[in-house]
Amino acid sequence: MELKRVVVTGLGALTPIGNSVEEYWKNLIGGVSGAAPITRFDTTHFKTKFACEVKDFDPADHFDRKEARKHDLFSKYAMVTSEEAIKDSGLNLEKIDLDRAGVIWGSGIGGIITFQQEVTGFLQGNGVPRFNPFFIPKMIADIASGNISIRHGFRGPNFSTVSACASSSHSMIDAFNYIRLGKADVMISGGSEAAVIETGMGGFNAMHALSTRNDSPETASRPFDKERDGFVLGEGSGAIILEEYEHAVNRGANIYAEIVGGGLSADAHHITAPHPEGLGAINVMRTAMNDHSDLDISEIDYINVHGTSTPLGDIAETKAIKTVFGEHAYQLNISSTKSMTGHLLGAAGAIEGIATILAVKNNIVPPTINHFTDDPELDPNLNFTFNTAQEREVNAALSNTFGFGGHNASVVFRKFKG
């Protein structure tokens, strides 16, 4: 069968460096760090006392008090960004076939705030089972996709992807496939996460996964720097409207970019560590680019890398890029926007996908900030876009996300050419 073309027609973002797409992009290009001391709880006894929190977000601006009580923060983030993306897309929901409009949403953890609050309340109540009736619906990871579809009346495919930090990239790839196979016209894809809470911070600290640079939070996320010491936990949400090409053109939609490929792979190596030679990353990038018959490797100008700022992960991904691209690797711009946003876990792929789409649209590559010292284990001839955004023609770009369990996803965006 002939596959349909799929384009991006709407974006929504709620991030540690901006509560809208416009603000997020401005601060990405400006190299702004979203890391700061945690405001949500007392960090006295925690190894890491900072994170990339969403700032100046008031649920009362979006939900009445009764509705707000029904939703965990990760689900609120999801609904707010989906609202922005739909508005940005110009979709008239009264004129599209809602049976062919769906939602696929990613979250690695789901309602961890709700889970912590309810279990804590149970223990403080001496074991008396007085649970909130919304406990389970607020906590489950798939509820965000359900809430988005209820809010907008989308009756097409609806489910959640859970693959740790690759979750929202998997949601985009699944949405892309449903449309190009002719099973939907419009899909809301993306992801949300809200894990900046005691259990989230404590759990990652116990794994020694987080930076402990408490004296300088704003410089703690430093991908590809010799002194990197772990990632910075972030939170937020990104929503991306994917649409069948003819459907978008017929309604005169603004098109940001075309999505032309999606790759999936597994490391089959370790529950948290990457394969040391980046085998899963090699496979997923190759699969993504081979997903489109007329995409040449030389068209790729930029890679928004997973780049978490962990000692092992940054080295493995760099090795994979050199293996896949060969000499062309030295013509690429590479950057990790986690240096600014921190690591949004299951929402990382969504907000980094938005950064990649806007790089393709605007011919600007956002930087990898906080570079101070070269790492001799990394190739100094690669262009990591250190510290300052760079203007260049971006015809096509990859967005990489890798998750605990060895889950890998890579998405290819190309400049829309009609």
* Active site (catalytic) residues: 165, 306, 343
List, as one string, the DSSP characters of 58-125.
Answer: -GGGTS-HHHHTTS-HHHHHHHHHHHHHHHHHT--TTTS-GGGEEEEEE-SS-SHHHHHHHHHHHHHT
- Burial of 224 per CB tally in 10 Å (0-12, 13-18, 19+): buried
Asked if 59 and 72 count as a contact pair (C-beta separation under 8 A), the reply is no
Distance CA 50, CA 196 (A): 9
List, as one string, the DSSP characters of 278-305.
Answer: -HHHHHHHHHHHHTSTT--GGGEEEEE-
Total count of residues recorded for the chain: 418
Asked if 373 and 224 count as a contact pair (C-beta separation under 8 A), the reply is no
The one-character DSSP state at 5 is P
Identify the helix (H) or strand (E) that includes residue 359.
helix 348-362
What is the rounded (10 degree) CA torsion for 21, 193, 350, 79? -60
- Burial of 379 per CB tally in 10 Å (0-12, 13-18, 19+): middle
Rounded (to 5) percent helix, strand, coil in the chain? 35, 20, 40
Amino acid at 45: H
